[in-house]
Structure 1
Amino acid sequence: MSQPPGGAPSFVRAWWEALAAVAAGVAAMFAVAALGLWAAGAGGLPGGAFPSVTAATVVTAVGGTVELSGDAGVLGRTGAGIAVVPLSVTLAGAVALAVVFLRPLRHHAVTSGRALLARVARTAVLWLLALLLTGLGARHDFRINLGDSLLGDIGDVLDVAPRVGFRAALGPTLGYGLLWLLVLLAVAVAASRKTPLPSRLLRFQDPVRPVASAMVALLLGYVLLGLVAGLVTAAVRGHPGDTMAVLLLGLPNLAWLAFGLGLGGTWDGRVPGTSLGLPMPAPLTAVLREGGDRPSTLSVSSLAAHDGRAWLLVVVAAVALLAAAFLTAVRSPATTRPWEHAVQVGVASAVTLFVIGTLTRISARFGLSILGITDMSAFGGEVALRPHLLTLMGLGLLWGAVAGFAGSALSHRVRRGGLAGEAGNPGPG
């Protein structure tokens, strides 16, 4: 006798599919984070901190909060803070989780809203459990070695033992992690052309799905270009370990920053005069160091002052956006008018640049003070990168609208050419 549709096998299979999606995402993030941190030299952290640092990296990759703290004894104090998203880790987990989540849906011709929400709910429950366990593992404390310096001598005499530590803030981590998952699944369902939509959402399929799919393809294409450039750099310039650390931790940070800069966006930022620890493009670090203690403005023109090839970012961004607009148009119904394409691509570009600006924001600092003596050059400074979000969104809307019109015109020409070819070919026999 066969089981009814709502029987135990269906129940077990539904939870198994949710578990597979969560496990794939978490495993991908831990693997990429561990490899990136190992390439960056974090494997030698004192006190066996590497697993905890890896867990903390995964927490920040999904928008979670990692609190840094310090204790330099009675006569000392430390101050630290960090807000940066390692987007390579984020992207790896997002792609793995989305692919496994969507795969069972592609075997269905239709789906109901209730079934889709139930699938999302099961995934969210298991995701929060995995994130809770990750957050509990993302904590560690270790002592700072002051070395042979005046600070070290004072610390030894006064028995001041500076310690720093980190721990995931579980409340914000679970909250932002859940939001991350819901946004990811919404984008995945919207961009997947093979996933059926509930009947109530079918009216959004034509205006949303083609442009969402095109924007996802644009972002992944930029990451692929950055990966090729990074591998070439590692092969030609040496130091492959450092370059691989950048690729495994922050490749989308740089690639998507390049897209925003190519469209005319600007960021304010600064880095300390000391080494960043990881190799960044020379023009980028040069611009961010120009202001000294004050923020510098990062733009295509400021980059071009150090390397004229930076103007190529404008060309690449324009071509990429035009390709996305053309892809949107050819996948949309033939009855869609050019101004509708312009609105769709313009709004999607503005939203995409808002996300890019938010995700590429960086704020990191570390300071140590003992008896009023501060040595920031030895123990770090502040790294900051803050976007002009309103400018980015406005540029995205403008560029997207122009690209939408152009992409619509190109798609109509291609379609007319295809119809003319079919009319001129009488076919066999």
Structure 2
Amino acid sequence: MSVPTVSARPAARHGWAQALAAVLTGLAVMALAAALGLWAAGATGLPDAAFPRVVAATLVTSVGGSVDLSGNAGVLAQTRAGLTVIPLSVTVAGALVIGAGFLRPLRHRAVASARELAGWAARIAVLWLLVLIGLALGARQTFAVDVGNGTLSDLTGLFDSAPRVGFTTDVPLTVLFGLLWLAGVLLLALLVARGAPLPGRLLRFQESVRPAAHAMVVLLLAYVVVALVAALITAATRGHVPATFAVILLGLPNLAWLALTIGLGATWNGRVDGPFGLPMPHVLDVILRTPHVSELSLRSLTRYDGRWWWLVAVDAILLLAVAFRMAARSPARIRLWQHAVHLAVALALAVLMICLTGRISAHYGLSLLGIGDLGGGLSGELFLRPRLWQAVGLGALWGLVAGFLGGLLAKGVRRRGEVDGP
């Protein structure tokens, strides 16, 4: 009986069956999170059996795809609507599962050729492309808008111009951004996982990149865990259980990472108008529901309730912990200033990612013969956007300080590259 050679084993592992399992498992986890979150939010009551298509649209937006809202109320009426939000709970769940599926056949190996890694990633990408096309084509629906009673209702009946709104997907953009999302997930998985193999020419970079990248992933996930505990306590003590679980399953990282940046000193600008609202915490809705654009910052939060200063303490504790872990996982020859620079760059990039993915924008309105003028209960607006470069700069500054202090704390820890003295 012949024994398979070592070189043949990776090829056997990286087959289409393994790629299909990784993609389908990731898709199933994302669909489950989206469906349960939308169910908790009450989306099962949508007309025309639209729930599966709304789930598909949620999956599209979770990977950066484009969903366009449209309105039609006849020649005498005017509607407008728009929505830009990424349900990061679904995004994170899919990224963790697909990243783990990508790394699984590569475990227990020190080196892999660039060709082998590219081939394995290409199999996953081809199958993911088919998933993206299917989701983009399935995420299409139109709904009738209930204008209630009164003048607008009478006029819509008189002119047979009942308003309808719907959503469709931009298939090319969805495919493009969905594949970019997948590439980012696979690349981050290789950067973060300590045991993942790299091509020989890139091994020298892992000492500076991997500990810092791993520290950022730990920081972001730790903040999600803290937010999860806070959400569960809120659900148990204050009620609103369905709304709270909808937030957990759809947008918990959105709120958790928003709190992370605010604790660093970053400022977000926003406004809430109409029936839109931010379900938790309530203070966000209070601060942003003003006639003009408001600032959401540590100063505005503590003006409402002084206990929000704890965001600074949580940031400091978690950053110092991951900085220590980064330094302890780095070779002993890495100097203190290098630890500081590595964490500064990593935290600045993490904050940049949060600012780009955490933006929220939603609006809708209806006007008929100039009546309604997009106001009252027939319109609403919600937006939240960061002061980008201020947030990135603060992230770099915090990273410098935390990286230096973490390196100091790790000096007494035995690390790779150290040898015993005579």
Q: Distance in 2 between matches of 1:140 and 1:6?
A: 50
Q: Distance in 2 between matches of 1:318 and 1:150?
A: 56
What is aligned with 1:348? 346
Does residue 369 (structure 1) correspond to residue 379 (structure 2)? The answer is no
Which residue number corresponds to residue 329 of structure 1?
327
The aligned amino acid for 2:255 is L
Equivalent residue number for residue 191 of structure 1: 192
Match of 2:304 in 1: 306
Paired residues for 1:25-424 under 5 Å: 25-276=26-277, 279-290=279-290, 292=291, 294-374=292-372, 375-415=374-414
Aligned length: 416
Q: Structure 1 CA distance, aligned partners of 2:169 and 2:273?
A: 26
SS in 2 for 1:159: coil
**Alpha-carbon shift at residue 110 of structure 1 (Å):** 2.5
| Counterpart Cα distance in 2 of 1:46 and 1:324 | 48
Alpha-carbon distance between aligned partners in 2 of 1:26 and 1:137, rounded to the nearest angstrom: 15
TM-score by length of 1: 0.93
Structure 1 residue 40: deviation in Å? 0.3
Deviations 1:367-409 (A, max 9, x none): 1111111253313311101111100110011110001110000
CA distance in 1, matches of 2:79, 2:123: 42
Q: Separation in 1 of the partners of 2:56 and 2:73?
A: 25
Name the SS for the 2:195 alignment partner: coil
Q: Distance in 2 between matches of 1:197 and 1:286?
A: 49
Task: Report the alpha carbon displacement of residue 413 of structure 1 after superposing the two structures with TM.
Answer: 3.1
Larger displacement relative to structure 2 (56-65 or 191-200): 191-200
Asked if the contact 2:14/2:105 (under 8 Å) is kept, the reply is no
- Structure 2 contact 276–380 (Cα < 8 Å) conserved: no
Unmatched 5+ residue regions in structure 1? 424-429
AA of the residue aligned to 1:345: L
- CA contact 2:109–2:195 (8 Å) conserved in 1: no
In structure 2, distance between residues paired with 1:195 and 1:12: 15
CA–CA distance in 1 between the matches of 2:171 and 2:47? Answer: 24
Task: Show CA shifts across 1:319-363 (max 9, x none).
Answer: 111111111100000111000001000010100000011111111
Superposition deviation, residue 164 in structure 1: 0.5
Higher mean alpha-carbon deviation, 394-403 vs 17-26, is at 17-26
Q: For the residues of structure 1 that align with 2:18 and 2:379, how far apart are their CA atoms?
A: 45
CA distance in 2, matches of 1:186, 1:159: 54
Name the CA distance, whole Å, in 1 between partners of 2:218 and 2:192. 9
Cα deviations across residues 230-266 of structure 1 (Å, max 9, x unaligned)?
Answer: 1111111112111100111110000000000000011
User: What letter corresponds to residue 227 of structure 1 in structure 2?
Assistant: L
Contact 1:286 1:306 survives alignment (8 Å): no
1:274·1:377 contact (CA, 8 Å) conserved in 2?
Answer: no
State the SS of the aligned residue for 2:196.
coil
Partner of 1:373, secondary structure, is: coil
TM-score by length of 2: 0.95
RMSD: 2.0
Paired AA for residue 413 in structure 1: G
- Partners of 2:104 and 2:13 lie apart in 1 by 17
Which position in structure 2 is the counterpart of 1:426?
none
- Does the CA contact (< 8 Å) of 2:276 and 2:381 recur in 1? no
Whole-angstrom distance in 2 between the partners of 1:124 and 1:96: 15
- Contact 2:193–2:214 at 8 Å: present in 1 too? yes
Code of the aligned partner of 1:366: Y
Aligned-residue identity in percent: 54
**Whole-angstrom distance in 2 between the partners of 1:7 and 1:327:** 37
How far residue 152 of structure 1 moved from its aligned partner, in angstroms, is 0.8
**What SS does the aligned partner of 2:162 have?**
coil
8 Å Cα contact 2:257/2:354 also seen in 1:
yes
Q: Partners of 1:40 and 1:195 in 2: how far apart?
A: 39
Structure 2 residue matching 1:344: 3-state secondary structure: helix
Secondary structure, counterpart of 1:363 in structure 2: strand
Counterpart CA distance in 1 for 2:11 and 2:389 is 48
Shift of 1:13: 5.3
**Aligned mates of 1:205, 1:7 — CA distance in 2:** 26
SS in 2 for 1:305: helix
Deviations 1:283-339 (A, max 9, x none): 11111113x1x2111101101111111110011011111111111100000111000
Runs of at least 5 residues in structure 2 that lack an aligned partner in the other structure: none
Task: Report the 3-state secondary structure (helix = DSSP H, G, I; strand = E; otherwise coil) of the residue aligned with 1:366.
Answer: strand
CA distance in 2 between partners of 1:166 and 1:256 (Å): 28
